[in-house]
Amino acid sequence: MAMDRNKQRKFGEDCWIKGVVVIVHDFGKSGPAKLASLQIYSATELDPKTGNEKLSKKAKLEEWRSKKKSDGSKISSYKVKLKVEKWFGIPGAFLITNQHKHKFFLRSAFFQISNHSQIIHFDCNSWVYPINLNASHYLFFSNTSYIPSQTPSPLMELRKLELIKVRGDGRREIMEEWENIYEYDYYNHVGNSQEHSRLIIGGSSSLPYPRRLRTLHPSNEDVAADERMSYNKVKELASNTVEAALQFLIPILKTLNCQPHIDHFKSFVELHCFFWAQKPSNLAKADKWTKLQIQKFLPQNLFQHILSQKHPFIYPLPQFLRENEHAWMDDDEFARQMLAGTNPVRITCLHNFPPESKTKVVSTIKAPDIEHNLDGLTLQQAIEDRRIFMLDHHDYLMPFLNRINSGDVFAYASRTLLFLRSDSTLKPLAIELSLPYSEAEGEEISWVYLPAAEGLEAALWQLAKAHVAANDSVYHQLVSHWLHTHAVVEPFIIATRRQLSVMHPIYRLLNPHFKDTLHINSLFRSFLLRPDGIFEKILFSGKYSMELSSELYKEWRFDEHGLPADLLKRNMAVRDPDPGNPTGVRLIFPDYPYAEDGLEIWTAIKTWVKSFCSIFYRDDDSVHSDEELQAWWSEIRNVGHGDKSHESGWYEMTTLSDLVEALTTLIWTATGLHAAVNSGQYAYASYPLNRPTLCHKFIPSEGTVEYAKLLSDPDKYYLEMLPGKFETALGVALTKVLSHHAKDELYLGRRSPYNWTDNARARYSFSEFSKELKNIEKRIEERNRDPNRKNRNGPAKIPYKLLFPDTSNFNPKGGIAGKGIPNSISI
């Protein structure tokens, strides 16, 4: 709110405003020096002559001090001094003009009215391009947050114009990198040839999908400059990718004479050697062919940077191999990973037996198949006691299988039933694998496999588990990881940029959780999701991957995406009427590491969000009357997720409770959920015996030639069913890259800079949030040490740390940490 008139005049008696502007120079380029100028808008006074905003005269930046960093970048602080007329008031915004030939990155600024202690902070983090390119000035608002109705009148029109500028007009086919324009688009994956053309995903009831950001040019995935990762992070990501390729992919390609055809590992020893026999290497010592392959995919400056790195590198073995290389065969570990592995979000508690599909096809698993294995309980008792669970990959896969199985990849739909022991561990009871029998009539043919420890039955059981793991791996990559975090969050980011002013408190709350996500998503589309991209090469869903993801989007509801609601939906928790339980739910058994740790993280986030929102919204009416907030929510529902706008599952956004629940769900998705399904990929999913992404064989039927091969050499048959060498190498390299945390990663509970808001109550609430996350760290460590919590480590001996906040770590070194919750979906 505007300060009272007398106080404003007191500030205005001295006619100088002094400030410091912090700029990061573009690499190898000179700074702006005096070729950059600045003007300040008053937040409290209008121009008495025109009735418009009061704007100071221009003042040039004067270099004060510089610091060169080890990475070659240079940070310079510039002084600026502006003479203003009396009663100018409090600075609320400033314009900066770049007349230099190079762009520069404006990190921050602060200004102080002479003879007064108040400092006005500006957190900018934006590229400023030369005016001869952009033909406009850059506007930045102070770190003071206002809901629209409380905006000081001198800033009201500037607030509106800022939003109009970033929305664009939707008519231009090509945009420039300096134009921070945000428009929506479909997933229109069209390759360069008819062979690689794909359907447009999104915009129809048959192929619904979240919208993505419209990129600068239809032929590439470039995003606006302010959404790009820092140059250091791009270098780190490129180096990490090249290292993974040199370590795993290039050696395999050479053995295949550079043709990525299917060539299987001949023995388990050969497969182990693929990991154990890695040698230190770097690009500088690589041969000419290898350098040429790498150079094709990198800009010249990045290629030269990686080429200059002299220190050899070698990756640590995946944790799964380091601790217990035979754990992949263990039934208990197979089951434990449904609770604490890289995809702990699919398992459900079964309320009715036998399971039944949406088309009313009843499972072929019979009561006698499992009753003997229920530790003395009857099947009815086990169901009533909530001790029968299911990993379900059946209904959504059935319509795709005839198309998927038309090549050299073979997949089933699957149901896996499990029993909860008295010590809270799960044991598998049965696996049902199904194929369409007569697709037109919806008929199926199914096979049921039961656990066995020796003989042919044991070999068949391992083959069945491999097919289930492949189902779960594909669901994990396409749905749990990509769709349910990266893709569903993107429309929220676009709507935030388009409908919420940077002055809006909700913009400031969310902005750290959106850092780098649009850029990362564009890279995903360029390399993973594109026709003939990595996902089509390593997942059994192949060229139907995006269609499959679209099919699962039909089941998605925002109001079921929060952790407590998700657990209730999957029957993994029940409602808890205890008012002392902030989550409102109680797990049906405690040793579910993802859910147990996740509920603590969820509660901490919700407490922080509620505290923050209560500072700016007095009551429900203030939420309902916030026109920016209402436009934001309407655009998310009707445009960003427009294919589901007519469905239930959206909060009305008329109460403070609606706002808190929606924001908690969004922040949880970008932080805790993404960390849980992403950071453990190298530990678990890099080893194809544990998490194959496709199978090259069905399980053979008795009396067939394939059955005879299985009888003759079960190990050979098993290895020939799994991904080949090239598919394995590509998958391992991918999981390594995806599991990598950047060196400058900011984890949940930390923000930069300290003065991200001038609201002392908000800063205090955030410090309490950080303290609670540190307390959660201690409780997670205690649970991991508890020998009675067997699902925290399991046969693989990997402590569950994927939701360990690591907020107390102020100097993360990056790499494959297997812990820490990044503030945003930044990989």
Which positions are catalytic? 481, 486, 674, 678, 827
Both tokens assigned to 389: 């669970």
DSSP3 helix / strand / coil % (the chain, rounded to 5)? 45, 15, 40
The phi and psi torsions of 117 (rounded to 5 degrees) equal: -80, -15
Structure-token pair, residue 239:
């180096």
Please name the amino acid found at residue 213.
Answer: L
Please check whether residue 471 is in contact with residue 390, taking contact to mean a CB–CB distance below 8 angstroms: no
Place of tokens 């600045």: 38
> How far is it, in rounded angstroms, from Cα 394 to Cα 415?
6
Q: Give the residue among 411, 239, 381, 378 at the shortest CA–CA distance from 310.
A: 239
Give the SS3 label for residue 103. Answer: coil
Radius of gyration, CA atoms only, the chain: 29
> Whats the size of the chain, residue-wise?
827
Secondary structure (3-state) at 432: strand
Give the number of other CB atoms < 10 A from CB of residue 760: 9
Q: Residue 42 corresponds to which amino acid?
A: S
Query: CA-CA distance, 821 to 808, in Å (whole number)?
Result: 12
The residues pairing with 444 across neighbouring beta strands, listed in sequence order, are 436
Q: Rounded to an integer, what is the distance from CA 66 to the centroid of its chain?
A: 35
Calpha distance 480→673 (Å, rounded): 9
- Is the bond preceding 354 in cis, omega lying within 30 degrees of 0? yes
Using alpha carbons, list the distances in angstroms from residue 769 to 43, 147, 388, 462.
Answer: 31, 23, 37, 45
d(C-alpha 321, C-alpha 173), whole Å: 50
With b for 16 or more beta-carbon neighbours within 10 A and e for fewer, the 567-580 pattern comes to: bbebbbbeeeeeee
Which ranges of 91-194 would DSSP assign to H, the alpha helix?
131-134, 153-167
Alpha-carbon gap, residue 429 to 450, rounded angstroms:
7
**Cβ(91)–Cβ(140) under 8 Å?**
no
Longest Cα separation, the chain: 98
Q: Cα separations (Å) of 513 from 496, 510, 674, 787?
A: 12, 5, 11, 35
Q: Is 620 in contact with 578 (CB distance < 8 Å)?
A: no
Rounded Cα distance, 57 and 66, in Å: 26
Looking from the CA of 409 toward its CB, the CA atoms found within 13 Å total 24
C-alpha span between 341 and 391 (Å, rounded): 13
Note whether 471 and 411 are within 8 A (CB).
yes
The string of DSSP codes covering 706-722 is HHHHHHH-HHHHHHHHS
Q: Locate tokens 């930069």: which residue?
A: 752
How does strand 573-575 pair with strand 585-587?
A: antiparallel
Contact 23, 100 (CB under 8 A): no
> Structure tokens of 421?
């022991």
Distance of alpha carbon 664 from alpha carbon 609, whole angstroms = 7
- CA dist 240 and 232 (Å) reads 12
* Burial class for 372, CB neighbours closer than 10 Å (0-12, 13-18, 19+): exposed
